[in-house]
Chain A
Amino acid sequence: MSVVAVLIGFSLLVATGFLVAFLWAVKSGQYDDKQTPAIRMLMDDKNSNVKENENHEEKS
């Protein structure tokens, strides 16, 4: 069943990679702000007709 070792190896590799990425994200301040990113992504396309209509609907 040596392939189990291989698969565990690769899975660990992936997991370690993710762990490093996670630590980087935390360290570099990616998660310092957990409020604005969710709102900011809503505010990028302004020149679309459809969007204007929707906003209008909401205001009314």
Chain B
Amino acid sequence: MQLETFKYDNTIVRKFTIATAVWGIVGMLVGVFIATQLFVPALNLGIPYTTFSRLRPLHTNAVIFAFVGNGIFMGFYYMIQRLCKARIFSDLLSNIHFWGWQLIIVSAAITLPLGYTTSKEYAELEWPIDIMITIIWVVFGINLIGTLMKRREKHMYVAIWFMIATFVTVAILHIVNSIELPVSFWKSYPVYAGVQDALVQWWYGHNAVAFFLTTPYLGLMYYYLPKAANRPVYSYRLSIIHFWSLIFIYIWAGPHHLLYSALPDWAQSLGTVFSIMLIAPSWGGMLNGLLTLRGAWDKVREDPVLKFMVVAITAYGMATFEGPMLALKNVNAVAHFTDWIIAHVHVGALGWNGFLTFGILYWLVPRLYNTKLYSKKLANFHFWIGFLGIVFYVVALYWAGLTQSLMWKQFTPEGTLQYPNFLETVLQILPMYMIRAVGGALYLTGALVMVYNLVKTAKQGTFIREEEAQAAPLIKETSEKKSHHWLESRPIQFMILSLVAVLIGGVVEMIPTFLIKTNIPTIAAVKPYTPLELQGRDVYIESGCNTCHSQLVRPFRSETERYGEYSKAGEYVYDHPFLWGSKRIGPDLLRVGKKYPNLWHYHHLIDPRRMSPGSIMPPFPWLEKVDIDVASTPVKISAMRSLGVPYPPGYENQATNDLWKQANEIALDLQKSGIPIESNKQMIALIAYLQRLGTDIKAKEQVVK
């Protein structure tokens, strides 16, 4: 057969390579900066844009979607062409993909510090960016499937399957979790409320970890590890089995993020069971990776690429064992809301994603530039300092998480909380926060050394823009005709497929109406927020309070003693979005309403240390200067009503008046205490919201069937 000659496009790989390195540094830098703020709160410089609560989402988004995201695409564009023995489907689409993705990242980097956020973790970006993500993701998909269609290699190597699963699942997750109603260009409310919103969010959140941080990286592992070790994967059969079992099991484990919440028990148990089952396919991947190196451990000693990969795979194994353990209710009761979880995710992020990316970069860049790595010594230095960084980081936070959790739960022999003051438990772990920041800084140093090393490598070589290759064309068994035949000759199958297609359409159309009906209150005492409280809630979201404060009291005595009555699902029915939070750097706020006078909140927000000496909460002094966006009130009220919140018809016309009335009352109360504040400031709205929190149910509990 005639061999065909064609060329691989390396320019797109180079673009994503540079982006990976650059955004990696940015993401880590922001991480170290906010880690330092935890023990030097004044480092927020007294301005909103550099405050922990706004930068933390920037850090997570930068690391997940910018660093790892670009890493996925870098690895993808290189390997898909070679595995398919074909040039990428469309150079134009590659470039749209690249620049579109960078535009998304830049928009995120601008909007998140400005406070434009949905508050939903790893899905914080507002609706215009959500739409952009959808479009670019489709472009990526077309390039993936297009290349598969013109492949010259019949067999699709296992790495390709991982990419297909990634593409399909992330697309669905992103769309389902981002169904929101815009009220302005940079503000929207999710159609889901309260418990339902929480469920959708963590179905998304969990699967984002699964299908953005795990499956594409396993795909990369299956390509770059054998390449770097120059030996085939230990068991190809195992790779196939663990791929299919992994993707089938992963999508059901989401509820383990909501143990002990208002979610029905059976759903929580389902999440736990599937999480435990996940150990098998996860470890299948880890063992397959490590065993690939059997008999080649001498190479690992020499080659920094393999060193990085071995630690990455080991970290993957650790994180995927720890995850199921954390999904056990008894372990979760201790670990949830603490730094243990932060340590857990950083084993994954720094170890698995970070180190695998570094390994791939050290392998790939010399090949793109047809040269050798500039300095093996520097790469080894990077390895050790990065490794040390991980150890400092995670050990400190495991310690911190466990310590704090045990302090939260400690009772005296008389049966009262041993540490009733939350701050005490924070001050106890401050040294750990410092060590964590040191760990992060070490890791960042290593990454900077890598960038230097890679730039030097690129400079000493010459970039291979196009790489020539040869392969025999794939003999097509007139597959198009065949597949059509297959359908045509089987009316029942055809009917089932059509039914599925119709069902999808139906479900998508029905969701909104379907959900709104179930938003009816189950607790009569729970009323919609007043216009001022609603605005205050948006200030709460804009300021990112939910980054450090949960609004979910679990049914443990240690929590009801500290915070008050445990959470009921019916309390959250008007919460678009839900604000349960996932981490308690500060105390839970669900029952904070009416606990302190307005004046206390005022001083505490201006500078938390006035009311709680030693507090690590950042100061929010601008809240008494920035105006409430009063003009948006009618739009917000009608948006909420169309989402099912029972404001009476025409209330939007009266809402602004009500807002002023309530605002003037609070302002007057503060003015009486000598605070010269006007009633149109964000501070007033936020205080109104905080004073409302959890109070509906305090007065009386009336369950309506």
**A residues near B, CB below 8 A?**
1-4, 6-7, 9-11, 13-19, 21-22, 25, 30-31, 33-35, 37-42, 44-45, 47-51, 53-55, 58
Residue from A10, A22, A49, A58 in contact with B230 in the complex, judged by beta carbons closer than 8 Å: A58
Does B370 contact A3, Cβ atoms closer than 8 Å? no
Q: How far is the CA of A31 from the CA of B244 in the complex (A)?
A: 12
Going nearest first, the 9 A-B pairs with the smallest beta carbon separation are A38-B232, A3-B196, A38-B236, A11-B251, A34-B237, A2-B518, A39-B232, A44-B82, A38-B233
On chain B, the residues within 8 Å of A58 by CB distance are 230
How many residues from B make CB contacts under 8 Å with A? Answer: 56
Does B236 contact A35, Cβ atoms closer than 8 Å? yes
Given contacts A3-B200, A11-B251, A53-B372, is CB(A37)–CB(B155) below 8 Å?
A: yes
B553 within 8 A of partner (CB): no
Does B196 contact A48, Cβ atoms closer than 8 Å? no
On chain A, the residues within 8 Å of B161 by CB distance are 25
Does B231 contact A42, Cβ atoms closer than 8 Å? yes
Main secondary structure of the interface of A (DSSP, over half): helix
Nearest residue in B to A19 (C-beta to C-beta)? B248
Given contacts A7-B200, A7-B203, A38-B226, is CB(A49)–CB(B372) below 8 Å?
A: yes
Residue from B158, B367, B514 in contact with A45 in the complex, judged by beta carbons closer than 8 Å: B367
Does A45 contact B230, Cβ atoms closer than 8 Å? no
Does B371 contact A18, Cβ atoms closer than 8 Å? no
Q: How far is the CA of A54 from the CA of B372 in the complex (A)?
A: 11
B469 within 8 A of partner (CB): yes
Q: Scoring B residues 156 to 177 as 1 if CB is less than 8 Å from chain A, else 0, what string do you get?
A: 1110010011001100100010
Does B196 contact A1, Cβ atoms closer than 8 Å? yes
Given contacts A7-B199, A39-B232, A41-B83, is CB(A1)–CB(B264) below 8 Å?
A: yes
Given contacts A38-B226, A40-B153, 16 further A-B contacts (CB under 8 A): A2-B514, A2-B515, A2-B517, A3-B200, A6-B176, A6-B511, A11-B251, A37-B236, A40-B155, A41-B83, A41-B227, A42-B227, A44-B469, A45-B367, A49-B371, A55-B230
Does A22 contact B196, Cβ atoms closer than 8 Å? no
A/B interface sample: 22 pairs, CB < 8 A: A1-B196, A2-B514, A7-B176, A7-B199, A10-B176, A13-B172, A14-B168, A14-B172, A15-B248, A18-B244, A21-B164, A25-B161, A30-B156, A34-B236, A38-B226, A38-B239, A42-B232, A44-B469, A45-B82, A51-B367, A54-B230, A58-B230
The A/B interface has a contact count, at CB < 8 Å, of 113
Q: How far is the CA of A16 from the CA of B153 in the complex (A)?
A: 26
On chain A, the residues within 8 Å of B252 by CB distance are 11
**B residues near A, CB below 8 A?**
82-83, 85, 153, 155-158, 161, 164-165, 168-169, 172, 176, 192, 195-196, 199-200, 203, 223, 226-227, 230-233, 236-237, 239-240, 244, 247-248, 251-252, 254, 264, 267, 366-367, 370-372, 467-469, 500, 504, 507, 511, 514-515, 517-518
Residue from A6, A40, A42 in contact with B507 in the complex, judged by beta carbons closer than 8 Å: A6
Q: How far is the CA of A14 from the CA of B515 in the complex (A)?
A: 21
Does B176 contact A50, Cβ atoms closer than 8 Å? no
CB proximity of A31 to chain B, nearest CB, Å: 6
On chain B, the residues within 8 Å of A47 by CB distance are 467-468
CB proximity of B209 to chain A, nearest CB, Å: 15
Does A14 contact B169, Cβ atoms closer than 8 Å? yes
On chain A, the residues within 8 Å of B153 by CB distance are 40
Q: How far is the CA of A37 from the CA of B239 in the complex (A)?
A: 12
On chain B, the residues within 8 Å of A55 by CB distance are 230
On chain A, the residues within 8 Å of B199 by CB distance are 1, 3-4, 7
Nearest residue in B to A21 (C-beta to C-beta)? B164
Does B226 contact A50, Cβ atoms closer than 8 Å? no
